[in-house]
A and B are shown apart, each in its own frame.
Chain A
Amino acid sequence: DTAVSQTPKYLVTQMGNDKSIKCEQNLGHDTMYWYKQDSKKFLKIMFSYNNKELIINETVPNRFSPKSPDKAHLNLHINSLELGDSAVYFCASSQRGGAKNIQYFGAGTRLSVL
């Protein structure tokens, strides 16, 4: 069983479209995250979501909106896609409050905006 799964693995779309990436974790964790990895492999946190508390990274455009129907799911919706949104997006989860708070990652979604 995959601990953190995200779909789709690849997403190719036109500029201006709206798209969503889904993420599910079966680890029983109560905190989930979205990261963006750019073409230089630099990983940056976008959002973290602990139960009903959403922590927004202020550098993320408001075209990006996370939605969490329950604590096992954290989806990422992107409006009006731009060329600069092309990247690999990773979902992760952790047990908040744990001593180690290790984050476990999904396999990533490679988004290409044409």
Chain B
Amino acid sequence: AQKITQTQPGMFVQEKEAVTLDCTYDTSDPSYGLFWYKQPSSGEMIFLIYQGSYDQQNATEGRYSLNFQKARKSANLVISASQLGDSAMYFCAMREGGQNFVFGPGTRLSVLP
């Protein structure tokens, strides 16, 4: 069974609008971390935001916020005020305990002018 599911292969958003990228995960470990990475067309993997399983508040980093719903096992990424430079692949990832990362299949976001 897939540990990380990203159901949106591709998304479009108008510049300056907000967009939500979905991520659901599967784990029975009470201690885990959730991460989002951005991969622009240039290819590098850029860390965006982190949410720990015991964190009480949703993580925020500038225009990025993570909508963490623990009971539903979802960790959606919200990008506010989209910019053309946000066009990229976005990957959700999970680390259980001290184990390695598992990545989701990614969502390709296209920001329209």
Measuring CB to CB, which residues of chain A are less than 8 angstroms from any residue of chain B?
33, 40-45, 48, 55, 88, 90, 92, 96-97, 99-108, 110
Can you give 13 contacting A-B residue pairs, CB < 8 Å?
A33-B100, A41-B89, A41-B105, A42-B105, A44-B103, A45-B100, A48-B100, A92-B45, A100-B33, A103-B35, A103-B101, A105-B45, A107-B43
Task: List the B residue with the shortest CB-CB distance to A90.
Answer: B45
Measuring CB to CB, which residues of chain B are less than 8 angstroms from any residue of chain A?
33, 35, 37, 39, 42-47, 50, 52, 89, 91, 95, 98, 100-103, 105-106
Would B52 and A100 count as touching, CB distance under 8 A? Answer: yes
Task: List the A residue with the shortest CB-CB distance to B45.
Answer: A105
Known contacts A45-B101, A48-B100, A101 near B95 by CB under 8 Å? yes
Known contacts A96-B98, A101-B95, A88 near B43 by CB under 8 Å? yes
Residues of B within 8 A of A48 (CB): 100
Q: Among A43, A90, A106, find the residue whose CB has the most chain B CB atoms closer than 10 A.
A: A43
- Complex CA gap A104/B103 in Å reads 14
Residues of A within 8 A of B103 (CB): 42-44
- Complex CA gap A104/B48 in Å reads 11
Q: Which of B39, B44, B46, B52 contacts A99 (CB 8 A)?
A: B52
State how many angstroms separate the Cβ of B39 from the closest Cβ of chain A.
Answer: 8
Residues of B within 8 A of A33 (CB): 100-101
Task: List the B residue with the shortest CB-CB distance to A33.
Answer: B100
Residues of B within 8 A of A43 (CB): 91, 103
State how many angstroms separate the Cβ of A57 from the closest Cβ of chain B.
Answer: 8
Would A101 and B33 count as touching, CB distance under 8 A? Answer: yes
Q: Which of A41, A104, A106 contacts B47 (CB 8 A)?
A: A104
Task: List the A residue with the shortest CB-CB distance to B54.
Answer: A99
- Complex CA gap A101/B33 in Å reads 8
Would B100 and A102 count as touching, CB distance under 8 A? Answer: no
Q: Which of A42, A45, A100, A110 contacts B50 (CB 8 A)?
A: A100
Task: List the A residue with the shortest CB-CB distance to B47.
Answer: A102
Residues of A within 8 A of B45 (CB): 90, 92, 105, 108
Known contacts A100-B50, A101-B95, A108 near B35 by CB under 8 Å? no
